[in-house]
Amino acid sequence: MSHINQLLGLISAWKARDIDGVLSFMHDDIVWHFAAVIAPPLKGKVKARKLLAAMALEVRDVTWRIFDYAEKDERLFVEGVDEYVSMSGYLVSAPYAGVVEFRDGKIIGLREYFDMGSVNALKTGDAMKEHVRAMIARDAVG
């Protein structure tokens, strides 16, 4: 299975709120930088499960999309938008770039880069900026 298809499988599991399904794509020794420049990484599936469980309580109607990607050896580079409705009913659209690393057919490293300030503003009901709306109005792969 290609790396992009593995990531798309993980995304499908997340959209279905299937935490075990998401974890099935991750290596036991996953190092997940869920907010790469803001917080230290999570290490291991136990901590990944805790984060996913907490996130599942905060989001609904997930439409996470990948726009472009490139694969090189055991790395996948992606550009996309993590989009969902918050439990407060606000649409949150977080354009991001990410690097996904693989070992033994599983995701061993995940680094996600996005603007947390914009995400937090959208969570409180601020309007999405028009240039962001235009940037994410693109077709997704797969």
With 90 as the cut, is the pLDDT of residue 39 above it? Answer: no
Q: Which domain holds residue 70?
A: 3-136
What confidence tens digit (pLDDT) does each residue in 75-125 have?
999 999 999 999 999 999 999 999 999 999 999 999 999 999 999 999 999
Provide, rounded to the nearest whole percent, the portion of the chain with pLDDT above 90: 94
Residue 142 domain-assigned? no
With 70 as the cut, is the pLDDT of residue 142 above it? Answer: no
Residue 49 domain-assigned? yes
Residue 7 domain-assigned? yes
- Pair 9, 100: CB distance under 8 Å: no
Residue 65 domain-assigned? yes
Domain count, the chain: 1
The rounded distance, in Å, linking the Cα atoms of 13 and 73 is 24
Residue 141 domain-assigned? no
With 80 as the cut, is the pLDDT of residue 1 above it? Answer: no
Residue 36 — pLDDT band, cuts 50, 70, 90?
Answer: confident
| pLDDT recorded at residue 111 | 96
Task: Give the 3-state secondary structure of 21-76.
Answer: HHHCCEEEEEEEECCCCCCCCEECHHHHHHHHHHHHCCEECCCCEEEEEEEECCEE
Residue 122 domain-assigned? yes
Residue 35 — pLDDT band, cuts 50, 70, 90?
Answer: confident
| pLDDT recorded at residue 43 | 97
Q: What is the CATH number of the domain that holds 66?
A: 3.10.450.50
Residue 99 domain-assigned? yes
Residue 17 domain-assigned? yes
Averaged pLDDT of the chain:
95
| pLDDT recorded at residue 62 | 95
